[in-house]
Chains A and B, each alone.
Chain A
Amino acid sequence: EPEVTQTPSHQVTQMGQEVILRCVPISNHLYFYWYRQILGQKVEFLVSFYNNEISEKSEIFDDQFSVERPDGSNFTLKIRSTKLEDSAMYFCASSEAGRLNQPQHFGDGTRLSIL
C-alpha cells in the first residue's frame, strides 16, 4: 500500500536556526497537509496546500513557517528562526483531490527537538 514518507525521523536543531522538514506524499494525491503534536498535547492542524498554494492555515502558521512543493514529489515545511516551543512531532498528510470523503493519509512524523 502506498505510504506518505517523511525525512528525517528526528531532527535536532539549535534555537534560532532554520529547519526544513521533508515529505513525499502518495503519488496520485493532490492535497497536502502539515500537522504538529507537541509532547502530551493534541494533534494540531498547521496548513493545507493544493494546486501550488496554501488553501488554509491555522493561527499557529505565522510568518515563521512556509511550505513549498519544489518538485513533483516533495512537500516541505520550513521553519525559520526556530524557538524552543517549536519542539514537537510534525506530521505530513496527503489525500486525493476533489473527493471529500477521501481520508488523509499520514506519515510517521519527524520529531523536531530545538536546543
Chain B
Amino acid sequence: AQSVTQLGSHVSVSEGALVLLRCNYSSSVPPYLFWYVQYPNQGLQLLLKYTTGATLVKGINGFEAEFKKSETSFHLTKPSAHMSDAAEYFCAVCNFGNEKLTFGTGTRLTIIP
C-alpha cells in the first residue's frame, strides 16, 4: 500500500520569500512522485514529476522538488514566492504497474504581500 503525508495544511509566506511545501511518502516499491497545483475553481495541473534518474526535478513556474529516498521525501520548493503562486498544492504517488494516483491531503499556500 502507498500513502502520502503533507505536513501543514496551510502555509503562508511573504512575497519574495522561499516556499517549502513538505511531502513524505510510504511505498513498498520505488515510487513515481508528482506535485499538482489547484487554483480556485480549476482542475489539477501538473507542476513536476519524478520517475527515474536525476533526483532534483524542475517544473513549471520556477518550482522544483528533490526525491530523497533515505528520507522518503519529495519536498517542493521555490526560491522566491510570487502572488500568483497562491493555490492548493497536492503531492501524489503511484507505483510501477499501478496507474492509481494516491494523493496527500493538500497544502494551501497563501502569499503575503
Contact residues of A with B, CB < 8 Å?
4, 6, 31, 33, 35, 41-45, 48, 55-56, 58, 91, 93, 95, 100-101, 103-109
Contact B100 A100 (CB under 8 A): no
Chain B 79-101, CB-CB to A under 8 Å as 1, else 0, gives: 00000000000101000111111
7 new A-B contacts, CB < 8 A, other than A45-B101, A93-B44, A106-B36, are A33-B101, A56-B98, A100-B51, A100-B96, A101-B51, A103-B49, A104-B101
Count: A-B pairs, CB below 8 Å = 59
- Nearest A residue to B45 by beta-carbon distance? A106
Given contacts A31-B99, A95-B99, A101-B52, contact A42 B104 (CB under 8 A): yes
For residue B34, CB closer than 8 A to chain A, the reply is yes
Contact B43 A42 (CB under 8 A): no
A-B contact pairs, 22 of them (CB 8 A): A33-B99, A41-B105, A42-B105, A42-B106, A43-B90, A43-B92, A43-B106, A48-B99, A58-B100, A91-B44, A95-B99, A100-B51, A100-B96, A101-B32, A101-B52, A103-B34, A103-B49, A104-B99, A105-B46, A106-B36, A107-B43, A108-B41
